[in-house]
Amino acid sequence: MRKICVFVGSRANYSSIKSVMKAVAEHPALELQVVLGASALLDRFGNIKDLVQKDGFRIDYTFFNIVEGENPVTMAKSTGLGTIEMAMVLANLKPDYVVVVGDRFEMMAVTIAAAYMNIRVVHTMGGEVTGTIDESIRHAITKFAHVHFPANEDSRERIIKMGEDPQYVFNVGCPRTDLVAEELEKDSAAELRNLFKDHGGVGSSFDLSGQYLLVSQHPVTTEFGSNRRQIEETLEALNRLKLPTIMLWPNADAGSDDISKGIRTFRERNKPEWLYVFKNLPTNIYIHLMNTTACLVGNSSSGVREGAFIGTPVVNIGTRQNKRLRTENVYQADYTADSIEEGIRHQLAHGKYKSDLLYGDGKSGRKIADILATVNPPVQKVIQY
């Protein structure tokens, strides 16, 4: 039995890898190991410990490694601490493969610990282009990874260009699409019935069958210092439209505090009746919101990825998703209220788009598990040129 260790560092991470975990757990030749760390355990960012267990997974290890401060120094220190913790976890779990998801800062900790300890690294969602610190992290992980599961063809080609051995680079589509596909078999209206009652949050509830906006804007780490202004422009655009709006709290990257403060101050000053803010939402609920919203606004990768499959109208703001492969559902805005407002009006006029399989067909998890059961990359990588 090959032991496959999956590290989950955040709620978003979990959505990106859950179908893989399920497929690995069900595969007769594979044994799943689950490690939770970083913001996956923090209430502030949506503690997923109970959720993971409720989904039927046994958690082998958990560790806290986020050094508080939410700035560039603590990003580095959290990674250092995570490396120390992960080294101990791996020394005890002794997996054959460690699955690293995406490109958040803590993923370098997992990658370094595994690679230095001669454990093969599996990377999902590599090869994409975004133009932030996440981009450097993603490509650096690629250079450590032994097996690559990019989410689309474009990314597969890029990974190979970077010198990786093509026989270990597999375009299996995006595992997030698996969840989306599964979820969309249900009735969105029914799933969202108790949204405001069940998920906390603050603001006045409204009728979801009408036209409403969904907003998810995260800090841009390389623009540390500008995040406060950026969210303020978004809020200004929203304030002009005054459509019913659901907004999500930002993630834990450096700059998160600035965005949080921007939202808080806006609420105190403007007491916007049209705005409802959730700390976080279950992924499935989020998918149904993406399915029924008139427009998703912000810089979340979900707009570009899941949005393609669902056909969500998206206004993507600024540089965070720069160059990530996208389909026609995405309208690009810059960091001004005018540009954002224009984008939203454009999407309101257009309405929903039709589904695009650019990011997968909903069966990525099973494909990955099947490959992991048989692939045999050398521990000692060599660049292909």
Binding its own copies by CB under 8 A: which of 4, 109, 237, 295? Answer: 109
Binding its own copies by CB under 8 A: which of 185, 197, 376, 385? Answer: 385
Binding status of residue 380 toward its own copies by CB under 8 A: yes
**Residue pair 81/65 in contact by the 8 Å Cβ criterion:** yes
Which string of DSSP letters, residue by residue, matches 313-376?
-EEEESSTTTT----TTEEEE-SSHHHHHHHHHHHHHH-PPPP-GGG--S-HHHHHHHHHTT--
Number of residues forming the site for its own copies (CB under 8 A): 73
Question: Among all chains, which residue has been given the structure tokens 């505090």?
Answer: 257
Binding its own copies by CB under 8 A: which of 3, 51, 64, 236? Answer: 64
Q: How far is the CB of 291 from its own copies (least distance, A)?
A: 29
CA 196 to mean position of chain CA atoms: 23
State the Cα–Cα distance between residues 61 and 374, nearest whole angstrom.
Answer: 26
Q: How far is the CB of 338 from its own copies (least distance, A)?
A: 24
Buried b / exposed e over 211-240, threshold 16 CB at 10 Å, is ebbbbbbbbbbbbbeebbebbbbbbbbbbe
Q: How far is the CB of 354 from its own copies (least distance, A)?
A: 29
Binding its own copies by CB under 8 A: which of 25, 129, 192, 243? Answer: 129
Local structure of residue 62 (DSSP, 8 states): E
Nearer to its own copies, 75 or 290 (CB): 75
Nearer to its own copies, 90 or 294 (CB): 90
Nearer to its own copies, 366 or 381 (CB): 381
Binding its own copies by CB under 8 A: which of 59, 76, 371, 375? Answer: 76
Binding its own copies by CB under 8 A: which of 8, 133, 247, 263? Answer: 133
Looking at this protein, which amino acid is placed at residue 194?
N
Binding status of residue 68 toward its own copies by CB under 8 A: yes
Looking at this protein, which amino acid is placed at residue 60?
D
Binding status of residue 132 toward its own copies by CB under 8 A: yes
Local structure of residue 353 (DSSP, 8 states): P
- Considering only residues 40 to 59 of the shown chain, the ones binding its own copies according to CB under 8 A are 41-44
Binding status of residue 368 toward its own copies by CB under 8 A: no
State the Cα–Cα distance between residues 204 and 244, nearest whole angstrom.
Answer: 9
Binding status of residue 73 toward its own copies by CB under 8 A: yes
Structure tokens at 234: 């978004």
Binding its own copies by CB under 8 A: which of 14, 57, 61, 359? Answer: 61
Q: How far is the CB of 287 from its own copies (least distance, A)?
A: 27
Structure tokens at 332: 């690009």
**Residue pair 299/316 in contact by the 8 Å Cβ criterion:** yes
Stretch that binds its own copies, among 96-104, 211-219, 220-228, 293-301 (CB under 8 A): 220-228
Nearer to its own copies, 349 or 379 (CB): 379
Question: Among all chains, which residue has been given the structure tokens 């403007």?
Answer: 270
Binding status of residue 117 toward its own copies by CB under 8 A: yes
CB atoms within 10 A of CB 383: 9
x/- mask, its own copies, residues 222-251, rule CB under 8 A, reads x-x---------------------------
State the Cα–Cα distance between residues 35 and 40, nearest whole angstrom.
Answer: 10
Local structure of residue 249 (DSSP, 8 states): -
CA 224 to mean position of chain CA atoms: 20
State the Cα–Cα distance between residues 92 and 75, nearest whole angstrom.
Answer: 26
Stretch that binds its own copies, among 166-174, 316-324, 343-351, 361-369 (CB under 8 A): 316-324
Q: How far is the CB of 299 from its own copies (least distance, A)?
A: 14
- Considering only residues 319 to 348 of the shown chain, the ones binding its own copies according to CB under 8 A are 319, 322-323
Query: From residue 110, how far is each of 295, 333, 351 by CA, in Å?
Result: 36, 34, 41
Binding its own copies by CB under 8 A: which of 24, 30, 34, 86? Answer: 86
Which of 41, 38, 118, 112 is closest to 379 using CA atoms? Answer: 118
CB atoms within 10 A of CB 154: 16
Binding its own copies by CB under 8 A: which of 50, 54, 56, 92? Answer: 92
